Structure 1
């Protein structure tokens, strides 16, 4: 009996220590953070919404590389698509292309060590980032590098929601078809992404990568800006942008758990007559994240917002469009984790033609969605309410 009492006493102490470790680590990280600001750039951007189309283009560009490849993913799986990536990289390394691969320590934990060893034998430099730190162990365990960027010869880059695994090319029965948005970028913004990769590589390995800015004088007229974030100030950026919205806000995200300040601005926008459309998945890949969003969705619906649940597969895209003047596509979800914990990368796009195409793409996805009603959301059963409550309690980690 004594040991049971001991465990009962120890558990709240451990939870308190974890809570203190998390918040102290978060505070220290925020104080040490230095924002990197990049200017508006001009170039070309292609929107890709099919995994098969993406990886066909992606592998072809990798095979055409002449000098360098820098790759960063949150998740690389132990499967055929991931093995194909390693094979392509090894072939390019044999041709003398300098290759760096940086993966998140937790997200890519299943990558076979023999793959890594073989890649290194071919001259590929390989590293894992965001490994736990003992000083703030619980906080660092929650921090993830959620970026998915690739830079090829310093001239072409890829950025968006796709990781590397068979489910991303519609080979997972539960989550297929996988719906996501990725962009292929040309222009000086590629150099900005390369600079961020260098910083992440330096933090992970202690080593520098030397790169030279390319000449992009004839790369296109589309205006865009690269916006990196590391769990600090991304929410404030969106607050500023939403405050300026006059007509419409369109949000597509797999997880909708916004922080208080950002959610307040969304409700203020609705109150001043801005039309809000929110596109989320009906299928969930997480046990409580979907239910954790219901409190927010009820509030938006009660104020006249529209919520659509994507029915044809799993919706994983991250997109925001404001007043048909600004479109963001990148790696950040609309949740606490992306705003306050993860390293993320966002591309703000200001080109009218691209934005019109993006709006049409989102609208097609809305046509394959079910409109969520406030009545139905109020009628959920007790089990959903329990999951909703748990989600509310731990929303800071979702």
Structure 2
């Protein structure tokens, strides 16, 4: 009995410590947070939904680099495409091209130290970001840089959902084919991707390159597609999404691998349904992480009851992060429609306003819808004991999934 009491007391003390750590860490983060306001820009945009096509294009652009290659990645795997990626960066660095690689510590901390050493020896500037630190160790462990950004010579930029690894080109049979959205841009909008990288690089390394004239975009560069970037740090994304959902007059389409909204966003979605806005939500049939699918079911029940369309993507794994409002605004970027992206992760999204660009994205979304089937109401209406248990566990830890 004494041992049980001691174990229980230890558990309660640990839980209390984690809660204090998290709340105080979050409070300090809010105090230091400075909102970034990027202006309306014009650039030429193209989109990728298949990993092989994206990496072929990205690696070709890196090969053409003359001055610098700046990359933020959440996950880089030690597999065939990962080794190809590392070899390419080392080769460019040896040519005299400035290469800077910033990896999230949680997403890529399993990277072999030998690979890191070889990158540095070749001249690649390497750093981890969002490394857990005292005094708020638990909170800092949860806050991750989830961005995937690449800027080449200040002329080409990439942003989207693809990480770097074989699973993103069909290497994992369970998750193949991998469906995602990633944009490529040329034009004045690239300057904001550059600014975002340089800010994150300074945060991680202390090296301030933000006023270096080598990284300033020429004023005469301008593309056709009207767009705007939004950068968030577990603060601001919920407000952005609220504003976006309130704009809807006819329809909302949300594509996301994880649907775990805040209560405020649920209120906005239910309010949109009440004013006869058609809502379609696309999620994967197959889950890539434990409990994320079960965490969404409580929200699906409420939305289905009010007339929303909930679809499960059948043709591989659905990792898209996209929101379409009335065919007038399309949000594409790195943020999922879940609490981790809303309240913890560092994310970057792009609002696209140009009709021709939106038409291209809409065609891809229509493919997603044709490759999806309605979620099983029988599964949701009459969950068995196992599902109920999973849903309960998911609800308790939904902020961290």
1:347 aligns with: 350
Does 1:327 find its partner at 2:348? no
SS at structure 1 position matched to 2:107: coil
Asked if the contact 2:194/2:215 (under 8 Å) is kept, the reply is: no
**CA-to-partner distance for each residue in 1:198-248, whole Å, 9 max, x for gaps?**
111111111122343222635421101111111101101111121121011
1:396 aligns with: 399
2:294 aligns with: 291
Does 1:55 find its partner at 2:55? yes
1:187 aligns with: 187
Does 1:308 find its partner at 2:332? no
Structural mapping, 1:256-267, within 5 Å: 256-267=259-270
| Partner Cα distance (1:213, 1:205) in 2 | 20
1:172 aligns with: 172
2:199 aligns with: 199
- Larger CA deviation: 36-45 vs 374-383: 374-383
1:270 aligns with: 273
SS at structure 1 position matched to 2:215: coil
| Partner Cα distance (2:383, 2:284) in 1 | 17
| Partner Cα distance (1:270, 1:146) in 2 | 31
Asked if the contact 1:270/1:304 (under 8 Å) is kept, the reply is: yes
2:94 aligns with: 94
**Deviation at 1:374?**
3.3
Does 1:250 find its partner at 2:253? yes
**Deviation at 1:291?**
0.3
- Larger CA deviation: 51-60 vs 180-189: 180-189
**Deviation at 1:116?**
1.1
| Partner Cα distance (1:212, 1:28) in 2 | 31
**Deviation at 1:387?**
0.8
- Larger CA deviation: 291-300 vs 215-224: 215-224
Structural mapping, 1:362-373, within 5 Å: 362-373=365-376
SS at structure 1 position matched to 2:93: helix
Asked if the contact 2:188/2:223 (under 8 Å) is kept, the reply is: no
TM-score, normalization by structure 1: 0.98
**Deviation at 1:385?**
1.2
| Partner Cα distance (2:173, 2:37) in 1 | 41
Asked if the contact 1:302/1:374 (under 8 Å) is kept, the reply is: no
SS at structure 2 position matched to 1:157: strand
**CA-to-partner distance for each residue in 1:92-138, whole Å, 9 max, x for gaps?**
11211001000001100122111111111111100000011111111
Asked if the contact 1:321/1:327 (under 8 Å) is kept, the reply is: yes
Asked if the contact 1:250/1:320 (under 8 Å) is kept, the reply is: yes
SS at structure 1 position matched to 2:350: strand
**CA-to-partner distance for each residue in 1:150-196, whole Å, 9 max, x for gaps?**
00001101110000110001010111111111010112221111111
| Partner Cα distance (2:109, 2:233) in 1 | 21
1:383 aligns with: 386
Task: Report the number of matched residues.
Answer: 398
| Partner Cα distance (2:310, 2:347) in 1 | 25
SS at structure 2 position matched to 1:140: helix
1:149 aligns with: 149
Task: Compute the RMSD of aligned alpha carbons.
Answer: 1.1
**CA-to-partner distance for each residue in 1:259-313, whole Å, 9 max, x for gaps?**
1111110110001000000000010011101000000011111111001100111
- When residues 218 and 203 of structure 1 are mapped into structure 2, their CA distance, relative to the original with a 3 A threshold, is closer
Asked if the contact 1:245/1:269 (under 8 Å) is kept, the reply is: yes
- When residues 324 and 32 of structure 1 are mapped into structure 2, their CA distance, relative to the original with a 3 A threshold, is same
SS at structure 1 position matched to 2:106: coil
| Partner Cα distance (1:80, 1:216) in 2 | 39
| Partner Cα distance (1:280, 1:173) in 2 | 19
Long gaps (5+) in structure 1: none
| Partner Cα distance (1:136, 1:354) in 2 | 43
SS at structure 2 position matched to 1:184: strand
| Partner Cα distance (1:221, 1:90) in 2 | 34
TM-score, normalization by structure 2: 0.97
| Partner Cα distance (1:69, 1:117) in 2 | 19
Q: 2:215 aligns with which of 209, 212, 215?
A: 212
SS at structure 1 position matched to 2:268: helix
